[in-house]
Amino acid sequence: LYHITCRGHGGAVLPAFCAVAGEDGVSLGTAVREQHGRDESVHSCRPPDVVVWPRSVEEVSALAKICHRHRLPIVPFGTGTGLEGGVGAVKGGVCFSLRKMDRVLDLHQEDFDVTVEPGVTRKALNSYLRDTGLWFPVDPGADASLCGMAATSASGTNAVRYGTMRENVLNLEVVLADGTVLHTAGEGRRPRKTSAGYNLTNLFVGSEGTLGVLTKATLRLYGIPELMVSTVCSFPSVQAAVDSTVQVLQAGIPIARIEFLDDVMMDACNRFSGLSYAVSPTLFLEFHGSEKSLEEQVTITEDITRGNGGSDFSWAQDAETRGQLWKARHDAWYAALALRPGCKAYATDVCVPISLLPHIIVETKKDLTENRLTGPIAGHVGDGNFHCLMVLDPDDPDEVQRVHQFTERLARRALSLNGTCTGEHGVGLGKRALLQEEVGPLAIDVMRRLKATLDPENLMNPGKIL
Amino acid sequence: LYHITCRGHGGAVLPAFCAVAGEDGVSLGTAVREQHGRDESVHSCRPPDVVVWPRSVEEVSALAKICHRHRLPIVPFGTGTGLEGGVGAVKGGVCFSLRKMDRVLDLHQEDFDVTVEPGVTRKALNSYLRDTGLWFPVDPGADASLCGMAATSASGTNAVRYGTMRENVLNLEVVLADGTVLHTAGEGRRPRKTSAGYNLTNLFVGSEGTLGVLTKATLRLYGIPELMVSTVCSFPSVQAAVDSTVQVLQAGIPIARIEFLDDVMMDACNRFSGLSYAVSPTLFLEFHGSEKSLEEQVTITEDITRGNGGSDFSWAQDAETRGQLWKARHDAWYAALALRPGCKAYATDVCVPISLLPHIIVETKKDLTENRLTGPIAGHVGDGNFHCLMVLDPDDPDEVQRVHQFTERLARRALSLNGTCTGEHGVGLGKRALLQEEVGPLAIDVMRRLKATLDPENLMNPGKIL
């Protein structure tokens, strides 16, 4: 047996199947860097004492029991692509890297469901499904693990049509803090709907590893649409772009994606990708369906956008041209970074009722200018959700401070408009104080009591959410 | 002050705004009969000690505090249209009838959301919305209160397209067992998506009054479709009808309703409503959309159903003809009752993965015949959810016993096929033992711990779910 001693926590001994730093070709340094890839500019790196790579739920359970006995914090780790510091080990302890559990299990094509282990990413699942005519549409941008996406209640560009993780997880296998194995909807169950008892599945979706380690997720799948058409349209104002969005939704157009980029973002994308889009508020739209239905969707949408002063559509149907058209949107992160070479980026995340989007975006752009900050805006406008891609020099403490204050003001602006401080990135480390303002002391108290019920020793990803 | 003494619970005194039995034109007898209207054939009537009609959340809170102080059970009551005995006062106590809180609040047309008090029914809301171009599509059949629908996680015929209550509640105001007032997503918040902390909203959706009294619900609304087309199609077998359903979903047809009626049900409907449909497995379908998209949806669906041996479509577009076409489906409950005049009906409720529907329906029909039971079948086949409308003589103890045993066998058959013992009616009194089999001892333990955390004295609708 190969034993590992966990420093700083009374010398707990972990069994052989816990590959540790340096073993198995993955160094602790790599794992830690992985954990802090995208958000290190905002949330400082806090490495765990040890990293383990369990290969099965039995191993996760056995490890959790050891951690429970020795009061070691457990930090679940999927792909480390989260944006609010959710995988930082603020109290040390054991990082459970779940990448070795990467099997796609139990695909049921006729029932439109599949079960995956926590190391399976969304792109890996969609590759696996390629010949089935099915796909999993939730797309947060990064190639995140699906259980990580469930843990953070992720969504992204397709949510306006297909929903977020909340609507698309049917069942979860979870290792609780004491190492017991829970099936939130009962083992192996996969009805498309149920009203059997408390909705434990949706208690764990969005719990960010603070209530248990997700070791399996059963997901809804969808038929791949016969055709997809993408269009781009620029507008004279933010208001005109948002009005178009509301009218498209009111007209019942089953739009698959409707993404907003502001003038600063469009300028950055033009420069980065050698494009020549108008430098003005712009919508990127995607329609899914059959040929006739697409024709009609596009016609009605074009009428609506023209009525709001929108430009003629640039549009594309084949995969390659669609790819080119969406290049600006897909490269937004890198285009933003390229605005200031050598800097880091941090994506904010707020969501408000759609009609209040023009107001908050105009106010926010003013705030950015006044505070000399670089923050091009991109948003899932159909949901009222948008991000400022803050580009900052992490070695400039004054700028770091200004970005921090700006993101807090932005979140409070969203709260003052009946919105949320996080539409899809989660609370993690960064938004705990804002969460308290958002839901109020009683809801926080209820959340704390739920947490204490399921994890009385506060071992599961401590210091996050609450 | 007008005070009420609650018998049998230490003589607790309730304040003046608690209208009691006999006052205000509503007798206790009426309230109790209301409570036990549809399910008295299965769940025996257990009246509360007193009924109160609060008019505001402040009154609900004040009443709950009195109940908490005197350890009086609280039984929330909406319209009494639930089917699993959820409003029976098995331990006596105070029935909170919420019908006097019937205001529609805070309609936001551009944001597609509205907030309602607990006395607002789905039909009342849709009447209120009539001139706005919006509607709330979740339709369990009965004109239930929307907060009651949230409490039982209701769904119905439109769920295949628009989801269940789980997907359509954005926020809830809840009076907890100690009388405190919780806003599950924060007071007044209504973003279309959020990942801010634990999903308290979906913990209360489906909690059947056992965690708190719902006093407000913020709901998603949808644009009324430009056109609706309904069709009816009969099939040579259950398998052919279900295969058609799966293929329609695989083809990405955004079908709004796809309802299955078996041969027995069709025969009952023909007799009751003077119709002449084929007495065979039948699908009732409804398509929502624009003219062109409907043409296409209908054409593709007709190709699919013909390929499975389905009859030509009877179809209808104007509201009146659609009403006639759907009459058979809408009158199913009364048509079933008319099979045996003087009898009562009880609707079972299971849900399985769609591909397993033919198997379970064929087995279930055999079971009904073998046990000399009348139970025509109607189902929301797009979700894998179906009901047997059991018609029984409540004065025949042998038949009551056979129905009881049949419904248990049916639920266990669903469980053996990875399904659920309740797709939409909830657990209530009737399915507590089955819930344990469905989710297993650890999930039951977790549910019990959550209940104990929020309601340590077990005052909220005691004896239900767990």
pLDDT exceeds cutoff 90 at B16: no
Average pLDDT (B393-404) is 95
pLDDT exceeds cutoff 80 at A24: no
pLDDT score, position A42: 64
Q: How far is B203 from chain A (nearest CA, A)?
A: 6
Residue B376 backbone phi and psi in degrees, to 5 = -55, 150
pLDDT score, position B42: 63
Q: CA–CA distance from A178 to each of A6, A63, A71, A181, B411 (Å)? A: 18, 10, 10, 9, 32
Distance CA A368, CA A359 (A): 14
Residue A102 backbone phi and psi in degrees, to 5 = -130, 35
> What residues of A are in contact with residue B453 (Cβ under 8 Å)?
449-450, 452-453
Nearest to B141 by CA among B404, B389, B314: B389
Contact (CB<8Å) A442/B199: no
Distance CA B461, CA B213 (A): 9
Nearest to B113 among A159, A251, A353 (CB): A353
pLDDT score, position B111: 96
pLDDT exceeds cutoff 80 at A313: yes
Q: How far is A217 from chain B (nearest CA, A)?
A: 15
**CB–CB of B328/B266 below 8 Å?**
yes
Contact (CB<8Å) A424/B225: no
Average pLDDT (A244-257) is 91
Distance CA A352, CA B189 (A): 9
Q: What is the mean pLDDT of chain B?
A: 90
**CB–CB of A209/A460 below 8 Å?**
yes
Q: Which residue of A has its CA nearest to B186?
A: A439
Nearest to A198 among B155, B190, B450 (CB): B450
Distance CA A129, CA A223 (A): 11
Q: Hey, what domains does chain A have and what are their CATH numbers? A: 4-97 (3.30.43.10), 104-223 (3.30.465.10), 227-334 (3.30.70.2190), 340-433 (3.30.70.2740)
Among B194, B239, B450, pick the best mutation site for testing chain A contact (most A Cβ within 10 A).
B194
Contact (CB<8Å) B195/A152: yes
Q: Are strands B344-347 and B282-289 parallel, antiparallel or unpaired?
A: unpaired
Place of tokens 């960010």: A208
Question: In B104-187, where does DSSP find H-type helix?
Answer: 122-128, 146-151, 159-162, 165-168
> What residues of B are in contact with residue A106 (Cβ under 8 Å)?
none
CB pairs A-B closer than 8 Å: 312
Strands (E), B61-136: 74-77, 94-97, 104-108, 113-116, 134-135
pLDDT score, position A292: 83
Contact (CB<8Å) B110/A422: no
Query: When comparing pLDDT for B35 and A81, which is higher?
Result: A81
Distance CA B390, CA B401 (A): 12
pLDDT digits (tens, 9 = 90+) for B241-255: 999 999 999 888 889
Bridge partners, B108 (sequence order): B113
pLDDT score, position A12: 53
**pLDDT band, very low/low/confident/very high, at A242 (cuts 50, 70, 90):** very high
pLDDT score, position B14: 52
pLDDT score, position A27: 37
> What residues of B are in contact with residue A195 (Cβ under 8 Å)?
152-155, 164, 206, 420, 422-427
Distance CA A447, CA A465 (A): 9
pLDDT exceeds cutoff 50 at A87: yes
Structure tokens at A38: 């995208």
pLDDT digits (tens, 9 = 90+) for B78-88: 999 999 999 99
Which of A109-123, A176-190, B318-332, B379-393 has the least mean pLDDT?
B318-332
Average pLDDT (A1-26) is 43
Nearest to B422 by CA among B387, B391, B375, B446: B387
> What residues of A are in contact with residue B187 (Cβ under 8 Å)?
440
Distance CA A312, CA A243 (A): 17
Residue A123 backbone phi and psi in degrees, to 5 = -70, -40
> What residues of A are in contact with residue B189 (Cβ under 8 Å)?
418-420, 438-439
Among B195, B202, B442, B446, pick the best mutation site for testing chain A contact (most A Cβ within 10 A).
B195
> What residues of B are in contact with residue A225 (Cβ under 8 Å)?
252
**CB–CB of B138/B122 below 8 Å?**
yes
DSSP labels, B222-260 = EEPPSEEEEEEEE-SSHHHHHHHHHHHHHTT---SEEEE
pLDDT digits (tens, 9 = 90+) for B18-29: 444 333 333 333
CB-based burial, B211-242: b 16+ in 10 Å, e otherwise: bbbbbbbbbbbbbbbeebbbbbbbbeebbbbb
Distance CA B183, CA B160 (A): 29
Contact (CB<8Å) B191/A384: yes
Neighbours of A72 (CB within 10 A): 25
Question: In B223-356, where does DSSP find H-type helix?
Answer: 238-250, 263-273, 291-307, 319-330, 332-338
Exposure of A114 by Cβ count < 10 A (0-12 exposed, 13-18 middle, 19+ buried)? buried
Average pLDDT (A205-213) is 98
